[in-house]
Amino acid sequence: MEKVKVMIVDDSKISRAMLEGNLKKTNFEVCAMAANAAEAVQLYAEHRPAVVTMDMNLPDADGIECSQRIRAIDSDAKIVMISAMKDASLVAKGREAGISAFMQKPINTNDLIDTLMMLCQNKVGKVAVLRESYAKPFARALQQGLFSLVGVHSEVEVELDERRFLDVSGVAVIIGLTGYPVGRAIVSMEADTMHKFSMIMLDKESLEDITEEEASESVEESANIIVGRGVSNINDIFKDKEMRITPPGTICGSNIRIASPKLTTFRIVAKTRIGDISMNVGFAEGD
C-alpha cells in the first residue's frame, strides 16, 4: 500500500517526536514537521500532505487560526486537532475552521491511526479503512471479551472474507449494526466449543451439567457483550457517527449457510484452547 503523507504541527519537540514515533510502523509517513503557524502554512504549500495533525497552542497563532490559513490555500485540507484540552466550545470553533477530528493528548496510537485512516478514506481505499477502523476494533473486543468472560487467551486474525457466505454448524449469534456503517456481526462456534465455553462461563463441573439452552444463551450473551464493546471502541473515536447494535438473533443447528450479499466482510478468528471462535463482521457496500 502506498504511504500516506502526514504533516505534524506542534511547538513541542517532544510531542513531534512522539507523534512521529507513533506513525513509524504504519502506512503513514511524516513528510514535514512545523513548530509554528507560519512554518506550517509554508510547509503545507510545499508538501501538500494528505492529512495534518494540529496542536492547539502555537507561538505565533492558535491551532484554529493556523488551520484557517491552511484551508485558505487548500479548502480540502484534512486536519485533526490534537490538544491537551478538549471542550465543546473548542470543538465548535474548530469545526467552523474546517477541522475534521479532535483528539486529546496523550494519544493512543490505535486511535490516531483510526482517525487518520478515516480522514484519508479516498487515499487509502475503502476496504483498508473498514479493516483498520472498523474490523480491528471488533477484533480487539473479541480478544479482550473472551479473556474477561471465560479467561481464555487467544490469537486473533483479521482477514477480508471474499466468500460472501459463512457456514455454521453449532451456534451463530447475529447482531445487526445500525448507524454508520450499517452492517452486521456474527459470532459463531461449533457445538463442542459452545458447550465448553458455557461450562467455563457458568462455572460448571462437567459438560453434562449444561443444557443446550444454557449453552447457546451463554454464547448469545457473550456475543452481545463483545459486539457491544467493539461498537464502543468505534464510537469512542468517531463521535459524530454513532453506531448501535440490534438485539441478538441466535441460530442453532447443523450445516447452516449465512449469506452476505452486498457486504464487505471480514473474518476474525480467535484461536483458543477450547476451539476457534469466529466473528464475521460485514459492512454494507455503497456509500
Q: CB-wise, 38 or 225, nearer to other proteins?
A: 225
* Window contacting other proteins (CB under 8 A); options: 106-114, 137-145, 196-204, 256-264: 256-264
Q: Decide whether 216 or 272 has the Cβ nearer to other proteins.
A: 216
Interface pick for other proteins out of 182, 200, 202, 225 (rule CB under 8 A):
182
* CB of 25 or CB of 262, closer to other proteins: 262
Question: CA–CA separation, 249 vs 268, rounded Å?
Answer: 19
Instruction: Tell which positions 127-166 bind other proteins, by CB under 8 A.
Output: 164
Q: Tell me if 187 sits within 8 A of 245, measured CB to CB.
A: no
Q: Which is nearer to other proteins, 98 or 282 (CB)?
A: 282
Give the separation between CA 175 and CA 260, rounded to whole angstroms: 13
Q: Which three cell numbers mark 79?
A: 486536519
Name the minimum Å distance from CB 94 to other proteins.
Answer: 28
Taking contact as CB under 8 A, which single stretch among the options 33-41, 100-108, 133-141, 175-183 is the one that binds other proteins?
175-183
Decide: 156 and 276 in contact? Cβ < 8 Å. Answer: no
Q: Please, what is the Cα angle at 55 between 238 and 104, to 5 degrees?
A: 40
Question: Using the rule CB under 8 A, is 178 a contact of other proteins?
Answer: yes
Binding residue (CB under 8 A) for other proteins from 179, 191, 224, 271: 179
210 scored as a contact of other proteins (CB under 8 A): no
- Which x/- pattern, by CB under 8 A, does the window 214-253 give for other proteins? --x---x-----------------------xxxx-xxxxx
Nearer residue to other proteins within complex by CB, 102 or 134: 134
Region of residue 155 (phi > 0: left; psi between -120 and 50: alpha; otherwise: beta)? beta
In one-letter notation, the amino acid at residue 169 is S
Least distance from other proteins to the Cβ atom of residue 145, Å: 20
- Residue carrying C-alpha cell 471462535: 277
Pairing of strands 51-55, 79-83: parallel
Does the protein bind other proteins through residue 18 (CB under 8 A)?
no
Nearer Cβ to other proteins, position 262 or 273? 262
For other proteins, the binding residue among 76, 259, 273, 287 (CB under 8 A) is 259
Interaction between residue 287 and other proteins (CB under 8 A): no
Q: Please say which residue, 31 or 256, places its beta carbon nearer to other proteins.
A: 256
Q: Where are the beta strands (DSSP E) in the chain?
A: 4-9, 28-34, 51-55, 79-83, 101-104, 155-161, 165-178, 183-190, 244-245, 249-259, 263-272, 275-284
Cα radius of gyration rounded to whole Å, the chain: 22
Least spacing, CB of residue 217 vs other proteins, in Å: 9
3-state helix, strand, coil in the chain (%, to 5): 45, 30, 25
Amino acid in position 36: N
DSSP summary character for residue 133: I
Instruction: Tell me which residue of 135, 127, 128 sits closest to 28, measured CA to CA.
Output: 128
Enumerate binding residues for other proteins (CB under 8 A): 164, 172, 174-179, 182-184, 186, 216, 220, 244-247, 249-263, 282, 284
